[in-house]
Chains A and B, each alone.
Chain A
Amino acid sequence: MELRVNGRLYKIEVDPDTHLLWVLREHLRLTGTKFGCLKAICGSCTVLVEGEPVRSCSVQVGEVFGREITTVEGIPKDHPVKRAWKEVGVPQCGYCQSGQIVQAYALLSKNPRPTREEIVRAMKGNLCRCGTYPRIIRAVMRASEMMG
């Protein structure tokens, strides 16, 4: 079976009902995607499937064969989202940030000029125990500015 992740084609042997989270982390060793609740309620495992943010802990790999998957590692290091995250100084422990960044990237891809309310609506499913929320809002706004 073939999985397309971050523009690369991976040949893997797994049951199609294996969750995408574990395939990414344990088979492909793309450990940027994090495990948090296994119930699609914390957002730490967020990745993109064809540009749409999904919770990889609750998506079976069989559903996404042949479709383009993007993880935090696949977002360019100089992308405005990552630059803004650094400029604003968002991360503390950093554990949820991969999911936050992927979620924000998806938002900005569709809506490059989101309002504060739109940012909150798009991001509120991503939990952060360190409380980086105010900075996430600032960073999304900053990234939006950078994207021009």
Chain B
Amino acid sequence: MMTRRDFFKLGGLSLLVVATPKGFDIVKASDLKRHSPRLWINLSEENYLTVLVNKSEMGQGVYTGIAQLVAEELDFPWERVRVMPAPAGKAYIDPYMGSQLTGGSTSIRHMFEIMRSAGAAMREMLIEATSRLWKVPKNRLKAELGYVIDTKTGKKVPYGKVSSLAMKLPVPLYPKLKDPEEFRYIGRSLPRIDLDEKVNGEARFGLDQFFEKQIYAVIERPPFGGRIVSYDPSETRKVKGITHVFRVGKGVAVCGDSPEAVLEGRKKLKIKYSKTSVGSTEGLKEHCLQLLHKRGLVARRDGDPREEYDKSEKRIELTYLLPYLYHACMEPMACTVKIDKEGCTIYAPTQSQTSVLRHARHITGLPESRIRVITTYLGGGFGRKSNSEFVAEALKIARKTGRPVKLFYTREDDIQSGWFRPMCSALLRGSVDESGVPSSLYFKIAVPAVFEWAIGKERRGVDSAAVSGVANTFYEIPNIHVEFVKSKVKIPVWFWRSVGHTHNAYIMETFLDQLAHLGGKDPVDLRLELLGMHIRAQGVIEKVAEASGWHRGPKEGQALGMAYHYSFGTHVAQVAEVSLIDGKVKVHRVVCAVDLGPFVVNPDLVVQQMESGIIMGLSAFLYEGVKFKDGFAVNNNFDTYPILRMEETPEIEVHIVRSEGEMGGIGEPGLPPIAPAMANALFRITGKPITELPYYGL
């Protein structure tokens, strides 16, 4: 990866993408003398293209996807394209989000037009510059794979050679984008741009930076719903290499000359904890179920589901209980910071540069111009790294000690820091009419309000995450009631890959199979029937049914289960081929059909994200759930919080279905359908609905 300093030395043609309240605009670097640098795209005289990406690379392939968009319209050789992370700053915000944030499976959707336009503008400027240089009309020239070519004489010049000339021209107001038939890169599985670094051990993550006189730090944390009353550091201070022990945030920071010193020193802390309001898993479950007796807020009401349910002969009621889930990024939270006279430098694997900057301004008192945020690669994010508490802690430690700091969370710290997918319970009632079609659906969920935790204060109304995918379901059921009861448990919750869709898809799709069973309908046929107006939804269901051999039925000793869910603009249907031997689940194959609209920038990256979502969702279904005792997470490493391993990974087959209509995201939508598909298959074997997760028990 290039450094920022390298980048500013580049000559040639540099374009800026400017975020305006109305969206994006493109200008030349030289037009903005008095502004800070913005989202830059540079074509150097040596004919290299460098793209600064304002989105974080956490495995989803965004560096590759965004670079592909620019290289496409510029028509530029892929091997000469480089990327680097954009700095943090107002200039780099995503105007559709109002902040510099990677989340919600939005990056390619939000950046699709503007990054293409920037590439197209460059291309037009290079043609214009060449036309003036050679004194030939523009329409005789074409730009192709890094060369401007005279179509009459065959004479050609590398873009780089005319880039400085092009820099003197105005930026075209409406650069013409390619027709999709002309695409060279969009729709092609170009190799990821971060491959070399990631196979050679050169990719830099949160702990891979070094400063002179740096110290290391770990933080001991209180129980959830409690605090540290007092601590005695005297034994800790006797450990060789310990430099500082003090309170930071809700915890106690132990700092020293080496990672081992701080780990050893922390063990010697004598801490008095307060009582906790959170308690233990059994109490939390009980409390969560009790909340279903409270009256909540109605998110949607069509018809009269209660009346319909009461008068129906065929009806069913189920209560669900789903656990807290931990993100389990392979890279625990880690951050390297330095504060000195010149300012503040932060190396952070963050999904949210805006919140990092906010913390840095607040803690250091420095103006934004003196805060330098370098977004490293993220060793997994899954939503967790859009919470910047870990950066705030590192900055506070650096400020207090006056030393550069490498703050790292151990695996146990990472879990005890919280910010989980919330536990939730749900009461479901449904009925089917004489023809076996669902006539009513009552859905009441008790869950913490994730968005309240995200903004840090109470909010009125229905939390949109709590009812996502249900309040806006495409299924046409005449009587629907959706209700939300807010849980106020003091365990911090946050966005966990696909957020509310993780629990709601599970509840909705397993309950729908129960209704299908009650009405004597085939689950695939029933869904197609309930999705009368939604051809994209039907498209993925038909595709997955065909590719999985749904109507042929399962192989001997196996069962098939299917689920469909729409999230983040994308339709996904999955079929799981499952068997159950001596209580042990075996998933043989998962077939997945995905429709993310007309443009699939990099099909292999889409396949990667489907595989990734399926494996993470399967892991959660079988094993995952945080257990608590006296406010502490007790299953706090991979020996007690297992995640799926290679030997349990099924064969995965992904089909991309093309359609017209809105463009969808890809990082999250692959996850929600797998757990209900699994449960639906297992129901066909055991005849028992699975209403509590994880499958193997907490």
Distance (whole angstroms) from the CB of A123 to the closest CB of chain B:
5
Known: A26-B258, A37-B637, A44-B330. Is A131-B411 also a contact (CB below 8 A)? Answer: no
Chain B: number of interface residues, binned into ranges = 35 or more
Known: A26-B258, A37-B638, A95-B331. Is A131-B201 also a contact (CB below 8 A)? Answer: no
Residue B282 CB within 8 A of the other chain: no
Does B411 contact A89, Cβ atoms closer than 8 Å? no
Residue B696 CB within 8 A of the other chain: no
Distance (whole angstroms) from the CB of B379 to the closest CB of chain A:
3
With most chain A CB atoms within 10 A of its CB, the pick from B58, B208, B259 is B259
List A residues 71-103 near B (Cβ within 8 Å): 71-73, 77, 82, 85-86, 89-98, 101
Does B379 contact A94, Cβ atoms closer than 8 Å? yes
The segment out of B147-155, B187-195, B267-275 that lies at the interface is B187-195
Residue B198 CB within 8 A of the other chain: yes
List B residues 165-219 near A (Cβ within 8 Å): 189, 191-192, 194-205, 207-208, 210
Does A94 contact B377, Cβ atoms closer than 8 Å? yes
B204 CB contacts on chain A under 8 angstroms: 31
> What 1/0 flags go to B592-610 for Cβ under 8 Å of A?
0000000000001000100
B649 CB contacts on chain A under 8 angstroms: 131, 133-134
**Nearest-neighbor residue (CB-CB) of B263 within chain A:** A38
Does A93 contact B378, Cβ atoms closer than 8 Å? yes
> What 1/0 flags go to B365-378 for Cβ under 8 Å of A?
00000000000011
Bound CA span A89–B210, Å:
30
Known: A31-B204, A41-B638, A42-B638. Is A94-B646 also a contact (CB below 8 A)? Answer: no
Does A91 contact B198, Cβ atoms closer than 8 Å? yes
Distance (whole angstroms) from the CB of B285 to the closest CB of chain A:
26
Residue B660 CB within 8 A of the other chain: no
A-B residue pair count with CB separations less than 8 angstroms: 161
Distance (whole angstroms) from the CB of B194 to the closest CB of chain A:
7
Residue A36 CB within 8 A of the other chain: yes
List A residues 26-70 near B (Cβ within 8 Å): 26, 29-39, 41-42, 44
Does A124 contact B647, Cβ atoms closer than 8 Å? yes
Bound CA span A92–B378, Å:
10
A73 CB contacts on chain B under 8 angstroms: 200-202
B663 CB contacts on chain A under 8 angstroms: none
Q: Which of B58, B332, B611 contacts A93 (CB 8 A)?
A: B58
Distance (whole angstroms) from the CB of A85 to the closest CB of chain B:
5
Does B330 contact A131, Cβ atoms closer than 8 Å? no
Does A124 contact B645, Cβ atoms closer than 8 Å? yes
Residue A127 CB within 8 A of the other chain: yes
**Nearest-neighbor residue (CB-CB) of B379 within chain A:** A95
Residue A5 CB within 8 A of the other chain: no
> What 1/0 flags go to B483-517 for Cβ under 8 Å of A?
00000000000000000000000000000000000
Distance (whole angstroms) from the CB of B625 to the closest CB of chain A:
16
Does A35 contact B207, Cβ atoms closer than 8 Å? yes
Known: A85-B199, A97-B199. Is A19-B260 also a contact (CB below 8 A)? Answer: yes
Does A129 contact B646, Cβ atoms closer than 8 Å? no
B200 CB contacts on chain A under 8 angstroms: 32, 72-73, 77, 82
B644 CB contacts on chain A under 8 angstroms: 131, 133
Residue B324 CB within 8 A of the other chain: no
Residue B59 CB within 8 A of the other chain: yes
Residue B615 CB within 8 A of the other chain: yes
Does A32 contact B202, Cβ atoms closer than 8 Å? yes
Distance (whole angstroms) from the CB of B283 to the closest CB of chain A:
29
B643 CB contacts on chain A under 8 angstroms: 127, 129
Bound CA span A97–B192, Å:
15
Bound CA span A135–B196, Å:
16
Q: Which of A37, A41, A89 contacts B608 (CB 8 A)?
A: A89
Given known contacts A31-B208, A89-B195, A93-B378, what 10 new A-B pairs fall within 8 Å (CB)?
A31-B207, A32-B201, A38-B410, A42-B330, A91-B59, A93-B329, A93-B380, A95-B377, A130-B59, A130-B330
23 cross-chain CB contacts under 8 A:
A31-B201, A31-B204, A31-B205, A32-B200, A33-B201, A34-B379, A36-B330, A41-B639, A73-B200, A73-B201, A91-B194, A93-B58, A96-B330, A97-B199, A127-B645, A131-B615, A132-B608, A133-B644, A133-B645, A134-B649, A135-B608, A136-B646, A137-B646
5 closest A-B pairs by CB: A32-B201, A131-B615, A95-B379, A93-B59, A94-B198
